[in-house]
Chains A and B, each alone.
Chain A
């Protein structure tokens, strides 16, 4: 046989192996509004950049007539490729092959590409579309999951890990995405749960649809399991590609810089924020008024909206923004917002991304549900994350910074490198109304006209404390700035912090209040 005919033989085998679960299964996949695994890989990666490995891997299962079944690629595609020129490792489960079920060979392919990603120190992207464990393979498939979770954990903080849920992802399988840094879901396509509707119905008698139990919206809005929500798979891939431009390949690099660009003129920083601290506004417009090209890439847009997190660039360099959002729940800290911000801060710290904090909050959300949900434990995560982070940290106090909220939001006391305050900043133990009611309780209650006295005392407290100058006098803030100076000072602060060194005490690892 000549080399040419051997090559033809290869192409034939390749074509066959790449056919996935066959025409019928592919038709079914498309009918569900889903792309095939191969289409997804090609849509996500740069043109002609994908190189596939382990195409000819077969399963070794013998029980339940499995020895007669051919499963192309054992239901998963693995390989390397690039996104805007940056290298990534990737796996994509193929639902058309035995429902994307995870057997031993399937899992070995995934762990192979994970080991690769960790060794090459490049991001890992996992596209999940699987019915779960391959029951015929028994404990072997459980072992497979365990091997994946273990690698997710070791890779955490070394390389960025991205999970894309494009189909069912149920039972133990959900824990791989949960261990990764960013989870993407698509409306009507993604389904994630530990126990499905049928089990819930049999065991507990509760009836619920798959969508209401663990659909994309549920995870993007309620549980906080998904960071990004898209209407279509194509939109989802665009989101992933954009994310990749903001993050570095690994923890010893910085994200690739972009060409600096001034913010767009339509975002006027001097008019975004109302002077009255009780009036709402959209803090994202403050970010857009200071960030390069007014481009803000928000994470968790629909969950815990009282805090805003995401990436932007300052003078070409990636930064992470953490901002109270007065438009939702007055921007308070609570269980979910603390969780949301704390995890993001740890991501930024692990991957050398400076953190900019914009502060405007009245404090913590009061309520029995919050206290009973453990706001103490969850709120502590935020303090922990800020304190521990050694990347450049710049904080701007826009308006309110009251009580524990002032401390938690990247304060000097948690090792912020630069703390700026607008002239509208109010740094105090609590809001003027509450403070006056406590300090002047007697004067107010004994006054002839208590309401008039209360107003007087509130004003007295306001005049004394509702400004940035008391904190400035103590050096807790470095300087009071004009709003229009904000971008210039942020860019400056970040550029002078490039070689910042900060060390934490030697330890195996800290024990954050998980």
Chain B
């Protein structure tokens, strides 16, 4: 069975720590490539799915109030209006109308001002 990962002496064993005990074992690709958790930054507006920015409502420096429209993304045959969940100021706009964006793209950056308006 050449095609399969052959289990021989030259496989690379590493150490895996489970509850303070280190076990000698093979680390699978899936485990090694797992997504490392990061704390979400609420001031960054990232795309949840890939799509196209079809309408942009804000410019840098604009004051925004919770619920204001930021932009519209065309994705999966739907026009998705993105509204801002906080009040603050637009620090940076990283997209233009008509731009295609991948998943997880930081489209707009905010300076959040947590004041009730």
Interface presence of A279 (CB below 8 A)? yes
Q: Mark B1-37, 1 if CB is under 8 A from A, else 0.
A: 0011101000001001011111111111111001101
Q: Mark A358-399, 1 if CB is under 8 A from B, else 0.
A: 000011011111001000000000000000000000000000
User: For A332, what are the chain B residues with a Cβ–Cβ distance below 8 Å?
Assistant: 16, 18
Nearest Cβ in chain B — how far from A285, in angstroms?
10
Structural contact, B37 and A434, CB atoms closer than 8 A: no
Interface presence of B102 (CB below 8 A)? yes
Q: A332-B18, A363-B19, A437-B20 are in contact. Are A326 and B25 (CB under 8 A)?
A: yes
Interface presence of A205 (CB below 8 A)? yes
Residue B18 contacts which of A203, A279, A302, A330 (CB distance < 8 angstroms)?
A330
CA of A437 to CA of B18 in the docked complex: distance in angstroms? 13
Structural contact, B23 and A434, CB atoms closer than 8 A: no
Residue A369 contacts which of B3, B13, B37, B50 (CB distance < 8 angstroms)?
B37
User: For A187, what are the chain B residues with a Cβ–Cβ distance below 8 Å?
Assistant: 3
Interface presence of B113 (CB below 8 A)? no
Interface presence of B49 (CB below 8 A)? yes
Q: Mark B43-84, 1 if CB is under 8 A from A, else 0.
A: 000000111000000000000000000000001110000000
A203 closest partner in B (C-beta):
B76
A373 closest partner in B (C-beta):
B34
Q: A306-B28, A329-B27 are in contact. Are A369 and B18 (CB under 8 A)?
A: no
Interface presence of A163 (CB below 8 A)? no
Structural contact, A329 and B76, CB atoms closer than 8 A: no
CA of A279 to CA of B28 in the docked complex: distance in angstroms? 17
Structural contact, A205 and B28, CB atoms closer than 8 A: no
Structural contact, B21 and A431, CB atoms closer than 8 A: yes
Structural contact, A278 and B23, CB atoms closer than 8 A: yes
What number of B residues sit within 8 Å (CB to CB) of A?
32
Structural contact, A278 and B22, CB atoms closer than 8 A: yes
Interface presence of A319 (CB below 8 A)? no
Nearest Cβ in chain B — how far from A437, in angstroms?
6
Structural contact, B19 and A430, CB atoms closer than 8 A: yes
Q: Is the interface of B mostly helix, strand, loop or mixed?
A: loop
Structural contact, B19 and A433, CB atoms closer than 8 A: yes
Structural contact, A329 and B49, CB atoms closer than 8 A: no
B50 closest partner in A (C-beta):
A204
* Count, A-B residue pairs, CB within 8 A: 88
CA of A206 to CA of B49 in the docked complex: distance in angstroms? 11
Structural contact, A434 and B21, CB atoms closer than 8 A: yes
CA of A301 to CA of B7 in the docked complex: distance in angstroms? 12
Q: Mark A186-221, 1 if CB is under 8 A from B, else 0.
A: 010000000000000001111000000000000001
Residue A330 contacts which of B3, B7, B25, B50 (CB distance < 8 angstroms)?
B25
Nearest Cβ in chain A — how far from B75, in angstroms?
8
User: For A366, what are the chain B residues with a Cβ–Cβ distance below 8 Å?
Assistant: 18-19
Structural contact, A363 and B4, CB atoms closer than 8 A: no
Structural contact, A329 and B4, CB atoms closer than 8 A: no
User: For B77, what are the chain A residues with a Cβ–Cβ distance below 8 Å?
Assistant: 203
A282 closest partner in B (C-beta):
B7
User: For B35, what are the chain A residues with a Cβ–Cβ distance below 8 Å?
Assistant: 369
User: For A336, what are the chain B residues with a Cβ–Cβ distance below 8 Å?
Assistant: 30
Interface presence of A53 (CB below 8 A)? no
Structural contact, A205 and B102, CB atoms closer than 8 A: yes
CA of A280 to CA of B9 in the docked complex: distance in angstroms? 12
A274 closest partner in B (C-beta):
B24
Structural contact, B28 and A328, CB atoms closer than 8 A: yes
Interface presence of A20 (CB below 8 A)? no
A217 closest partner in B (C-beta):
B3
Structural contact, B25 and A280, CB atoms closer than 8 A: yes
User: For A203, what are the chain B residues with a Cβ–Cβ distance below 8 Å?
Assistant: 50, 75-77
Nearest Cβ in chain A — how far from B52, in angstroms?
9
Interface presence of A222 (CB below 8 A)? yes
Structural contact, A328 and B26, CB atoms closer than 8 A: yes
Q: Mark A398-437, 1 if CB is under 8 A from B, else 0.
A: 0000100000000000000000000000000011111001
User: For B29, what are the chain A residues with a Cβ–Cβ distance below 8 Å?
Assistant: 221
Interface presence of A231 (CB below 8 A)? yes
Interface presence of A327 (CB below 8 A)? yes
Interface presence of A152 (CB below 8 A)? no
Which of B18, B28, B29, B34 is the most central at the interface, judged by chain A CB atoms within 10 Å of its CB? B18
CA of A39 to CA of B22 in the docked complex: distance in angstroms? 52
Interface presence of A250 (CB below 8 A)? no
Which of B4, B102, B103 is the most central at the interface, judged by chain A CB atoms within 10 Å of its CB? B4
CA of A280 to CA of B26 in the docked complex: distance in angstroms? 9
Structural contact, A327 and B25, CB atoms closer than 8 A: yes
B residues sitting closer than 8 Å to A (CB atoms) are 3-5, 7, 13, 16, 18-31, 34-35, 37, 49-51, 75-77, 100, 102-103
Closest 6 CB pairs of A and B: A434-B19, A330-B23, A368-B37, A431-B21, A433-B20, A434-B20
Given A278-B21, A329-B31, 5 extra CB contacts under 8 A: A187-B3, A280-B13, A280-B25, A305-B28, A366-B19
Q: List 30 A-B contacts (CB under 8 A).
A: A187-B3, A203-B75, A204-B103, A205-B102, A206-B50, A229-B4, A278-B22, A278-B24, A280-B26, A282-B7, A327-B25, A328-B25, A328-B26, A329-B25, A329-B27, A329-B28, A329-B31, A330-B18, A330-B23, A363-B19, A365-B18, A366-B19, A369-B35, A372-B37, A431-B19, A431-B20, A431-B21, A433-B19, A433-B21, A434-B20
